[in-house]
């Protein structure tokens, strides 16, 4: 089945993701931990928003909830116009696959597949036909500078190259938003900067929205908006 555009254009609003009054508590051996205490958040088409914060502040917890990988204790996440946690569980995974891209600190590429196959994967899971998936994945790998590495398996790529494949994979389904958790955290300074520049380039070229969690405050200075997550709340960083 050829379905080049599974999300009709009229479902896209300028606001690609928003969250209302998110809380997240964990019950553990140390009692009840309130990690998120009422977060409101929104990001629009083409924006890059940076989130900083100390280790353990809850940045990954927040990103996982925004990406619907984890559920909040209370509150709502809208992706496009859809209230994500209202979807039945069996539809949520497919919805996430179409609407959210992820880039993690570790690339999470599938080791037995080539760079090209890894980038094709979200489209194949989303039931695109093989040729469409191949062409689109190839185009993105060329854009991220890996046109001559299509057949390389992840272990035969450098760390910076692996992360560029991960960015291509995150973008391939043309998601509403890409959520990146310390994407340059495992890279040296030069490769880290190159990866961030690539994200900016992709944002400008494709209107792609990115939420970037990072310790690197220079990212916040370049972003459209920057926040610090502290004591369970997002505080805006003055431009």
Q: Are 72 and 37 in contact (CB under 8 A)?
A: no
Q: Are 21 and 40 in contact (CB under 8 A)?
A: yes
107 SS3 class: coil
Please say which residue, 60 or 82, places its beta carbon nearer to Mg ion: 60
Of the candidates 225, 213, 126, the one whose C-alpha atom is nearest the C-alpha of residue 178 is 213
* List 13, 26, 231, 235, residue binding ligand ATP (CB under 6 A): 26
Residues in the chain, overall count:
239
Cα–Cα distance between 158 and 75 in angstroms, integer?
40
Smallest gap from residue 16 Cβ to ligand ATP (A): 22
User: Residue 127's Cα: distance from chain center in Å?
Assistant: 21
Kindly state the tokens that stand for 222.
Answer: 């370049």
Smallest gap from residue 38 Cβ to ligand ATP (A): 16
Judged by CB under 5 A, how many residues of this single chain contact Mg ion?
1
* List 47, 61, 68, 214, residue binding ligand ATP (CB under 6 A): 61
Please say which residue, 201 or 230, places its beta carbon nearer to ligand ATP: 230
What, of Mg ion, ligand ATP, none, does residue 151 touch, CB below 5 to 8 Å by kind? none
Please say which residue, 60 or 97, places its beta carbon nearer to Mg ion: 60
Interaction of residue 59 with ligand ATP, rule CB under 6 A: yes
Binding residues for ligand ATP restricted to 29-58, rule: CB under 6 A: 33, 35, 53, 55-58
Judged by CB under 6 A, how many residues of this single chain contact ligand ATP?
12
Cα–Cα distance between 10 and 187 in angstroms, integer?
39
Interaction of residue 60 with Mg ion, rule CB under 5 A: yes
Cα–Cα distance between 235 and 92 in angstroms, integer?
30
Residue carrying the six token digits 């927040």: 62
Please say which residue, 58 or 160, places its beta carbon nearer to ligand ATP: 58
Binding residues for ligand ATP restricted to 109-128, rule: CB under 6 A: none
Residues 6+ apart with CB under 8 A from 6: 98, 126
Smallest gap from residue 114 Cβ to ligand ATP (A): 30
- Number of CB atoms found within 10 A of residue 142's CB: 13
Would you tell me which residues interact with ligand ATP (CB under 6 A)?
A: 26, 28, 33, 35, 53, 55-61
Would you tell me which residues interact with Mg ion (CB under 5 A)?
A: 60
């Amino acid at each position: 089945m050829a379905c080049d555009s599974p999300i009709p254009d009229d479902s896209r609003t300028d606001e690609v993701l928003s969250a209302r009054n998110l809380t997240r508590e964990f019950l553990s051996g140390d009692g009840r931990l309130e990690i998120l205490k009422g977060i409101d958040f929104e990001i629009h088409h083409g924006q890059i928003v940076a989130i900083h914060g100390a280790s353990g502040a809850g940045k990954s917890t927040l990103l996982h909830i925004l990406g619907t990988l984890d559920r909040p204790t209370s509150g709502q996440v809208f992706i496009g116009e859809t209230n994500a946690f209202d979807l039945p569980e069996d539809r949520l995974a497919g919805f996430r696959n179409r609407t959210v891209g992820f880039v993690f600190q570790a690339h999470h590429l599938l080791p037995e597949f080539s760079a090209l196959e890894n980038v094709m994967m979200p489209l194949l899971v989303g039931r695109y036909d093989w040729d469409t998936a191949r062409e689109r994945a190839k185009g993105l790998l060329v854009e991220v500078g890996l046109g001559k590495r299509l057949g390389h398996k992840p272990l035969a790529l450098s760390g910076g190259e692996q992360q560029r494949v991960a960015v291509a994979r995150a973008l391939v389904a043309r998601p509403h938003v890409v959520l990146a958790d310390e994407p340059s955290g495992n890279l040296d300074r030069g490769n880290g900067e190159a990866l961030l520049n690539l994200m900016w380039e992709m944002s400008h070229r494709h209107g792609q929205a990115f939420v970037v969690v990072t310790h690197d405050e220079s990212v916040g200075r370049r972003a459209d908006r920057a926040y610090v997550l502290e004591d369970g709340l997002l505080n805006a960083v003055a431009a």
